[in-house]
Amino acid sequence: MSAELLKKHKIRVTPFRIKVLSVFKKTHSALSLSDLESGIGEFDRVTLYRTIKTFLDKGIIHEILMPGDIKKMALCQDGCNTHLHDHKHLHFHCDSCQETFCIDLPAYPEIVLDGFDIKQIEIQAQGVCKNCG
């Protein structure tokens, strides 16, 4: 339940935040800013920007940036918070339907680079998704 999620992250439960979360929960794919805007209905843009910022800070949502200037957002799984914001999953963007999905991998690739201390790896894939293929 959305109110619980907000409480868990120690921020206040407000109608606007609940509304934004409901838009996220309604879909299986990641949302662009304009997806969100049209999902919300009437809204004040400043409040939306601030809500997104808060959700990102608190580890409630994460950003997905893909080649082609595609920028989306998706709910984090349990466990993310202000300090820990790590996702061991892949982001797939479908060139056909333009949807972006978070996909868990059976095995997350390990990469070692001499001299570099790799703290986190993100994988972005493009192609044709299950639904479109």
Partner DNA sequence: TCATATTTGCAATTTTGTTGCATTTGTTTA
Partner DNA sequence: TAAACAAATGCAACAAAATTGCAAATATGA
Strand partners, 101: 92
What does the alpha-carbon distance between residue 74 and residue 24 come to, in Å, rounded to a whole number? Answer: 7
Residue 124 contacts a copy of itself per CB under 8 A: yes
Residue 34 contacts a copy of itself per CB under 8 A: no
Between 98 and 127, how does the x/- string for binding to DNA read (CB under 7 A)?
------------------------------
Residue 115 contacts a copy of itself per CB under 8 A: yes
Q: Which of 66, 81, 89, 98 binds a copy of itself (CB under 8 A)?
A: 66
Determine the 3-state secondary structure of 73 from DSSP: strand
What does the alpha-carbon distance between residue 74 and residue 61 come to, in Å, rounded to a whole number? Answer: 5
Cβ atoms of 67 and 100 within 8 Å: the answer is no
Cβ atoms of 94 and 127 within 8 Å: the answer is yes
Q: Which of 6, 30, 80, 129 binds Zn ion (CB under 5 A)?
A: 129
**Binding residues for a copy of itself, per CB under 8 A?**
62-63, 65-71, 90, 92, 95, 103, 105, 109, 111, 113, 115-130, 133
